[in-house]
Structure 1
Amino acid sequence: MFASLLSVRALLVAIFMLMAGSGFLATLIAIRLEEARAGALVIGLVATAYFAGLMLGALRVTPLIARVGHIRAFAAFVSVYSASSLTYALVDNWPIWIVLRFTDGFVMSGVFVCLESWLNRVAQPNNRSAILAAYMIALYSGQALGQFLLNLQDNAPSLPFMLSAILLSLTILPVVLTRIAQPVMEDISPFTLRRLYAASPLGFVGVLATGLMMGAFYGLGAVFAQRIGLPLALVALFTSSVIAGGVVLQYPLGILSDRFDRRRVIVGSMVATAAICAALAFAEGRLAVFVPGALFGGFAFALYPLCVAHANDHLDESQRIGASSGLVLVYSAGAVVGPLMGSLAMGLLGPAGLFAAIGAVSLLAALFGLWRSAIASPVPAEDQQPFVGLPRTGPAAAVLESETSDGTEQDLQG
């Protein structure tokens, strides 16, 4: 197993460096706009642009990668991202930042497709789960540790952007020097929205709700932390604690969902998320948000793979890749709207509005899950597909996830 991870170490190093250099940019940009008194709506628009680019990229980058190859495409995408990071330091203008964030989302989608399809080529049935787990650890640990680069801007405001560009540029090296053969790109055709909903209503609604919640948090979580009085160092600690919580609780909740009716675990996680959001919205004292923040990440991050697993319980093996890639797009559509929803709520209710809106979405999704549980029979626990932790990245991750699970065919009933 260790030998299989060594075979993809260059790709794992690349994703770690990529996330360390880019994962904190959303937080940094939100902080800069907040300091410039741009307003929550403008901050939400800038965040929305990133997710819009991510969604368009998921639909458009595959032909480009197929035409020029993975190494050239990866180098091009990362080079554009590096140049974009430097441009933030040169141009302090939020309309231009909207264009830059859209570009960031588009090229990041291309990077995810390159890395994930490459990992899928190397992965075999006996090591696929280990490779996916290592990929997620590299992704989330890079994102969490990168948050602490925010602390370097006190004496040199442009320094975090410069370090981001340096890390992104260095990300190219392990990829262009790798000896792993480039895969042949396969076009993944996602399900239509109607077909997705018909296959698994709760999976569809749960993924959409998760996109709304996580889009709002990634776009405005740092603004919330600043407005309740956290200094910059603690803002970085707050965002990283949310990401760390998401890593810690994902697999325990997944194991529970394998043993019991998965819908109950999903609904329970949504209710827990709503309750934690209430605690965050009404938290008194600056330090009262860290434990609820980690718990929020733990339950909210788990919702996406739980809902994808629930959808897969109602699909046969030939349908799972198309359905999972379609759910990525549903998540992205929710993430596009999430920052705007959060910004409007903060405009009406102040900082607490962010988690009030996220909690309301989670509670509504939980009520939908209860309704589905009342009118549809559960999939027997022994027939459920094994839970697989899954990053919310791009359609190529659906191939890794779908081919990790072995299962029996289920009727379209959920």
Structure 2
Amino acid sequence: MFAMILPVRSLLVAIFVMMAGSGFLSTLIGLRLERAGSGTIIIGIVATAYFGGLVLGALRAGEVVRRVGHIRAFAAFVALLSASTLTYALLQHPALWMALRFVDGLCVAGVFICVESWLNDRAEPATRGAVLAGYMVALYSGQALGQLILRSGNSAPQIPFELASILISLAIIPVCLTRATAPQLEDAASVPLRRLVEASPLGVAGAGVTGLLLGAFYGLAAIYARRIGLDLADTAAFMTTVILGGVALQWPLGRLSDRYDRRRVILACFAATWMISIALASQPQGILLFGLGAAFGGLSFALYPLCVAYANDRLLPAERVAASGQLVLVYSSGAALGPLGAAASMSMIGAGGLFLFIALASAVMFTFGIWRAAIRPPVPADRQQDFQILPRTTPVAALLDPAGPESAAASTEQPQQQVTHG
């Protein structure tokens, strides 16, 4: 595998370093706002601003990449993200921090578009799966390890922001010094959302609700951890545990969904997330808290690629890449709403309100899935595509699907199958 990702090592190093610097900011900002006396609703609004910027950046940042090229666009996005990160240390005000989080979302989306389109161009059909796996490992391991920087703020409150800015700035170096030729970013194809809903209501709703769950978690989990009595070091460890748990279970659950009706695996994951969230809402302590956190991450992180795979099972091969890109936007839209709903729940109920909100959303989705399974037969085994782990980043990430471009090309040479709707 190492030999397969060697040609894109500079891009993977860059995304690892950038995520180590930026991946913990949502945790840090939530904690700082709470310590300054901001209410849960304000913290939720600031968290929502980031996902709003991520959605807009996913839609618009590609124009910047096309105009100036990948390397210049990457450097510009990273430089602006680094400057934004330092600005947090200058003045703490919710309105300013909301604007900065929106800028952060725009910049991170721009970075993802640069890296993902470049990886797609460099990956050969035989190595695409290894490249995608390497990208996921770099992204999530950087995000997990970055949580440890939270502990650096004990001596001086500005140090975590300074360290984050340093790491983000260093991410420019591997890309600027690479000898690899940057590609031309092509316009991404699109599939109307109505077509997606007609083909797979469960897949679309599942992607949106998964965004709701994880947007709420990323925006407010640190507040939950502090309010149930964890210190700063344990809060960082809890966040790291959830992220690593999320990486660990995606592949086993995905392979399970290849062997059995994928809907059953999705429904089981939503049901288990529902139960685990209720347990977390009861504010457990010690090893039980961390064990439940790892299980929550493992199940909830797997839901998005499972829902994408199920939606693709219901689509024609030529539609799958564009549909996966559209589902990223559905996920991101849900993620933008999640912190607001969770903040309202926490304001009324307390710390456990975060996971009660997540439990309610999971229960509603589970009920919807049961209804869909009752009125529609499963996808035949020979029509079910292989599961692929997919990042929840931008529509360009869909191009990294090892089955994507090839299956689309193949569909032009074969008669299209009739796909049922409803």
Q: Does the 8 A contact of 1:211 with 1:335 survive in 2? A: yes
Partner of 1:13: 13
Is 2:235 the partner of 1:227?
A: no
**Greater displacement, 63-72 / 398-407:** 398-407
Between the aligned partners of 2:183 and 2:219, the Cα distance in structure 1 is 34
Offset of residue 413 of structure 1: 3.2
Q: Deviations over 1:150-200 (max 9, x none)?
A: 000001110010000000000000001111111111111433322221121
Determine the C-alpha separation between the residues in 1 that align with 2:48 and 2:406.
33
Instruction: Tell me the percent identity.
Output: 56
Q: Counterpart of 2:180?
A: 180
Moved more, 136-145 or 403-412: 403-412
Query: 1:23 aligns to what?
Result: 23
What letter is aligned with 1:58?
A: A
Alpha-carbon RMSD: 1.3
Which residue number in structure 1 is paired with residue 71 of structure 2? 71
Q: CA deviation at 1:228?
A: 0.3
Partner secondary structure for residue 112 of structure 1: helix
Q: Is 1:98 aligned to 2:104, yes or no?
A: no
Q: Is the 8 A contact 1:200 1:412 kept in 2?
A: no
Q: Give matches, 1:246-395, under 5 Å.
A: 246-395=246-395
For 1:403, the equivalent position in structure 2 comes to 404
Structure 1 residue 330, shift from structure 2 partner = 0.5
Q: Give the letter for the 2:326 counterpart.
A: G
Distance 1:357 1:258 in 2: 30
**TM-score, length basis structure 2:** 0.96
Cα deviation, residue 405, structure 1: 7.2
Taking the aligned partners of 2:240 and 2:181, their CA distance within structure 1 comes to: 35
Residue 159 (structure 1) aligned with residue 167 (structure 2) = no
Q: What is the CA deviation profile of residues 297-341 of structure 1, one whole-angstrom value per residue up to 9, with x for unaligned ones? A: 000000000000001101122111221111111111101100000
Q: Which amino acid aligns with 1:7?
A: P
Closer, same or farther in 2 for the Cα pair 1:412/1:15, shift >3 Å? farther
Query: Which 4+ runs in 1 deviate beyond 4 A?
Result: 404-410
Give the aligned partner of residue 143 of structure 1.
143
Query: Matched residues in 2 for 1:30 and 1:373: separation?
Result: 39
TM-score by length of 1: 0.98
- The 1:405/1:246 distance shift into structure 2, 3 A limit, reads farther
Q: What displacement does 1:37 show?
A: 1.4
**Could you tell me which amino acid in structure 1 is paired with residue 363 of structure 2?**
L
Unaligned runs of 5+ in 2: none
Supply the distance in 1 between the matched residues of 2:294 and 2:357 (Cα, whole angstroms). 18
- Letter of the 1:305 counterpart: P
Matches of 1:93 and 1:190, distance apart in 2:
39
Distance 1:174 1:193, change over 3 A: same
Amino acid in the other structure paired with 2:84: S
Native 8 Å contact 1:385 1:405 kept in 2 = no
Alpha-carbon separation, structure 1, partners of 2:354 and 2:406: 36
The amino acid that maps onto 1:44 is G
Deviation at 1:382, TM superposition (A): 2.9
Deviation at 1:284, TM superposition (A): 3.4
Instruction: Please say which of residues 301-310 and 57-66 is displaced more in the overlay.
Output: 57-66
Shift of 1:211: 0.5
Q: How many residues align?
A: 414
Query: Where does structure 1 lack aligned partners over 5 or more consecutive residues?
Result: none
Contact between 2:125 and 2:406, CA under 8 Å: does it hold in 1? no
TM-aligned CA deviation for residue 356 of structure 1: 0.2
Report if the CA contact (8 A) 2:228-2:283 is conserved.
Answer: no
Q: 1-side partners of 2:65 and 2:80: how far apart? A: 15
Q: Give the alignment of 1:200-219 within 5 angstroms.
A: 200-219=200-219
| Matched AA of 1:293 | G
Alignment partner of 1:89: what SS? coil
